[in-house]
Chain A
Amino acid sequence: MRILAVEDEPDLLASLLRSLRDEGYATDGAADGPDGLFKAENFEYDAIILDLMLPGMDGWEVLRRLRRTKKTPVLILTARDAVRDRVTGLDTGADDYLVKPFDLDELLARLRALIRRAASQVESRIQVGQVVINTASRTVTRGGEEIPLTAREYALVEFLALHQGKLITRSMLYDHLFDENDATLSNLLDVHISNIRKKLGHDFITTRRGQGYCIESPL
C-alpha cells in the first residue's frame, strides 16, 4: 500500500510519515500544494492524506484538479472544522474528513477503511482458502495459526488479497508497495514472493508468466 501525505507543517508531516511507515505503508510526503498535486497525479497511491491550508495551492484546488484524472481515495486532514468546510470537502470529492488535532490510531483506521472500500472489500477480514488476512491487526493466519510476515511481505499479501482474482502486474506492485525513496531492485519482488510462498504455501500466489501475479478467487 502506498500513501501520499500532503502537509505543510514539517513536524506534523514527519510524524505522519514515520507512523505510516511503521504500519508498513510505502509513503511519500509533499510540503506544498503543487508538489502534492504532481505526486498524486503521477504516482499510483492507495490513499492520499491532504491538508487544506497549503502554500502555493490550497487543498480544495489540489483535490479539484486531482479528481479530473484520478479516483484515489482522499482523506482531508485540516484544522477547519466548520460543518460548511466538511460538506465542501466531501462534495469536492474527498472520501473522508478528519479534524486536527487527531489521533494517529483513528487516522490509520480511517485509512485502512478507505483502502478497503476502494478495493470493494467491506470487512477487515479477508479469507483466501485456509489463509485469513486481518487488515485491522495486520496479521495473517493459516488454519488458525499465525504466520509471521515482514511488513513488506504483509503489504504484498494484503494488496494481492484485496484484489483477489485480478491480475496484478509487477509494475503495479512496484507502484503500490515501494515509495520514492526505496531502491527498487528488480529482483526484490521475486525475493518477497518466494518468501511468502515458503510461509503460506506455493499455491497461494499464482504466477502468470510474463504478466504478473494473482491470488485466485475461491469461486
Chain B
Amino acid sequence: MIFNSLRWGIQAWYGLILVAVLTGFGLTAYHVAYDGQLRRLDRELEGQLAALSRPGPPERPPENRQPGERPFPGDWRRNSFEAAFLSRLRETIEQFGAGVDGRTNAYYAVVWDAQGAFVARSAGAPADVPAPALLQTSPIPADPEPGAVEPPRMRMVPPQPPQARTRGEVREVFRHEFFGHSLLVGRSLEPEMAAMRHLALWLLAAGSGVLALGLAGGWWVATRAIRPIEAISAAATKISSGDLTQRIPTTSTQSELGRLVEVLNSTFARLETAFAQQVRFTADASHELRTPVAVVISQTQSALARERSPEEYRQSLEACHRAAQRMRNLTQSLLHLARLDGRQEPVQKKPCDLADIARECADLVQPLAVEHAVTVHRDLNAAACFGDPDRLAQVATNLLTNAIQFNRHRGEIRVSTRTENGVAMLSVHDTGIGIPAEDLPHVFERFYRVDKSRSRGHGHVGLGLAISKAIADAHGGTFELTSEPGQGSTFTLKLPTRR
C-alpha cells in the first residue's frame, strides 16, 4: 500500500536521486582531495630528489674557477667521472635518511645505474623497491680503444621530468639523471591515507546529514504538493457519498492543480444542478399528479357518502373524467420526455420544409384561435431543413397553442418561416402579456410556470416548452426567446438546414 502511495513514490525517487548526487559529490571531493595530497607529496619528493641529484662536492661558482676549468673538479674522463659521481651519490644516498628509522613519514632513496643495476639505497628504504623502467635512448657508444688519443665523449642524458608512482602504501618519485642512472625518492603514504580516512568519515557524516535534511525537506514538499490532491479526494468522497454541495477549496487558480480544481468544481456544480433538477422534476411530477388524484378521491368519496341525485352523480363523473384526462396528458408528456431524454426513439430525420409544417399546424389550431378571438397571420417562406416532421409539428403546435392561450382577447399571432445563413427558422410572435425578464431563463424548464397557477385551467401540465426544447436539442437546433412584458413574446426555433 505504501508503494502505491504517490507521496511515497515521490519520496523514494527523490531519495534515490539525492543519494546518487551526494555519492557523486562525495567521491569527487574525495578524489580531488586525494589528488591534492599526492601532488603536494610529489612536490616534496621532487624537492628531495633535486637535492639528492647533485651530490657534493658542491658546484664551484664561476668566479672561483680558473678560466677553462670545469664546474666540477676531478677526472673528466668519462668512466672515472661517472664512477666517481656514482660513488659520491652512493655515499649521499646511504647517509640519506639516517637516524630517522621507524618514522612513517621518513623519506627514503634508491639509486640504480643506467643499466638498471642496483647501486645504493638509503637506510629506511625497503629492500624490494623495483627499478623504474630503463630510459629508451640511443645506444651508448662503446668506449674507444685503449690508447686512443681522443678522449671519450661524455654520455649525457637530456633532462628528464620526474615521474611518480604509487606502490602499495608508498609514493615514489624517480627521475633518470644525466648519466642514465635512476634516482628514486619515496615515502610512505600513511599520513595521507590517515587524512583521507578522516576526510571520508567527514564526507560520510556530512552526506548523511544532508540526506536526512533533504529527505525531510522532500517529505515536506511532497506533503505540501499532495495536500490539494487530498483535498480533492476528500471532497470527491463526500460528493460520491451524496453531499453534492461540497466544493474543493481553491487556493491558487494559476497552478496546474488549481486549474484542475476549477474544472472539478465546475463539474461538481453542474452535477449538483443536474441532480437538483432531477429531484425537482420528480417532485414536480408527483406534485402535478397529486391534484387530479385528490379530485378523483374526494369526488368519489363525497359522491358515495350517500344517495345522490342523478345530476350530482353526473357532475362527479365529469369531474373524475377531467382529472383522468389531466393525468393522461401528464403521463403522456412525461413518457415523451423520458423517451427524448433516453434517446430511446431516435428522431426519424428526413428532408422537410418548416413552411409546410407551420402551415399544417396553423390550420390545425385555427378553431382554437377562433374560440379565443385571436388572428393568426402567416408569413411562410421556404425553410428547408432536415428533421422529423411529426416532432417538428409537435413543436409548432405547442408554440401556436401557447401563443393563442396566453394571448389577449382579440390578439394577434404572426407565424413566419425563413432561411437565414444556412439556418432554417420558425418564429411565432404573439401579442400576449409577455414574460417577465426574471422568468425568461426558466420557461424551458420542466413544470416551470410563469404564473404558478394561471395555466392550470387550460389543461396544461407545464411540460410543453420542455418537450419542444428536447425536440430541438435532438435535432441539433436551438430556441430563441425574446419578450416584452405587456407587448408579447417571440419564440424562434432554429434548425440546421443540412444533416
Contact = CB atoms under 8 A, between A and B. Distances in A.
Bound pair (A, B): yes
Interface of A: 8-9, 11-12, 14-16, 18-19, 22, 53-55, 58, 79-80, 82, 99-105
Contact of B295 (A15, A19, A58, A103): A15
Contacts of B297: 101-104
Contacts of A105: 301
Contacts of B293: 100-101
B291 A15 contact: no
Interface string B293-319: 111111101110110000010011001
Contacts of B323: 11
Nearest to A79: B290
A15 B302 contact: yes
Contact of B291 (A14, A19, A79, A103): A79
Interface size class of B (residues with CB under 8 A): 20 to 34
Given A14-B319, A15-B298, A100 B290 contact: yes
Contact of B319 (A8, A15, A54, A103): A15
- Which 5 pairs between the two chains have the least Cβ-Cβ distance? A11-B319, A79-B290, A100-B294, A101-B294, A101-B293
Contact of A53 (B296, B301, B452): B452
B70 to A, nearest CB: 125
B256 interface: no
Contacts of A9: 291, 294-295, 456
B6 interface: no
Given A12-B295, A101-B290, A55 B454 contact: yes
B451 interface: yes
A55 to B, nearest CB: 4
A100 B291 contact: yes
B5 interface: no
A14 B302 CA distance: 10
A19 B339 CA distance: 41
B287 interface: yes
A11 B453 contact: no
Given A79-B287, A79-B290, A19 B453 contact: no
Contacts of A58: 452
Contacts of A14: 299, 315, 319
A14 B308 CA distance: 14
A104 B302 contact: yes
Given A54-B453, A55-B453, A58-B452, A11 B299 contact: yes
B283 interface: yes
Contacts of B283: 82
B391 interface: no
A22 B306 contact: yes
Looking at chain A's contact residues, the main secondary structure is loop
Given A8-B453, A9-B295, A11-B295, A19 B290 contact: no
12 contacts: A11-B322, A15-B301, A18-B302, A22-B305, A58-B452, A79-B291, A82-B283, A101-B297, A101-B298, A102-B294, A104-B301, A104-B305
Contacts of B291: 9, 12, 79, 100
Contacts of A55: 451-454
B325 to A, nearest CB: 11
B298 A12 contact: yes
Interface of B: 283, 287-288, 290-291, 293-299, 301-303, 305-306, 312, 315-316, 319, 322-323, 451-454, 456
Interface-centre pick from A8, A11, A58, A99 (highest chain B CB count, 10 A): A11
B298 A102 contact: yes
B405 to A, nearest CB: 15
Nearest to B316: A15
Contacts of A100: 290-291, 293-294
Nearest to B293: A101
A65 to B, nearest CB: 18
Contacts of B453: 8, 53-55
Contacts of A15: 295, 298-299, 301-303, 316, 319
B380 to A, nearest CB: 37
Contacts of A12: 291, 294-295, 298-299
A104 B288 CA distance: 20
Interface-centre pick from A8, A18, A54 (highest chain B CB count, 10 A): A18
Contacts of B287: 79-80
Contacts of B303: 15
A18 B315 CA distance: 12
A100 B294 CA distance: 6
A77 B305 CA distance: 21
Nearest to B284: A79
A19 B322 CA distance: 20
A100 B299 CA distance: 13
B301 A19 contact: yes
B280 to A, nearest CB: 11
B290 A22 contact: no
A103 B301 CA distance: 8
A99 B289 CA distance: 12
A104 B301 CA distance: 7
A11 B312 CA distance: 12
Nearest to A104: B301
A55 B302 CA distance: 25
Interface-centre pick from B291, B319, B454 (highest chain A CB count, 10 A): B291
Contacts of A11: 295, 299, 319, 322-323
Given A79-B287, A100-B293, A19 B319 contact: no
A49 to B, nearest CB: 11
A46 to B, nearest CB: 20
A18 B294 CA distance: 15
B439 to A, nearest CB: 16
Contacts of B312: 18
Given A99-B290, A102-B298, 15 more contacts: A15-B299, A15-B302, A15-B316, A18-B312, A19-B298, A54-B453, A79-B290, A80-B287, A82-B283, A100-B290, A100-B294, A101-B298, A103-B297, A104-B297, A105-B301
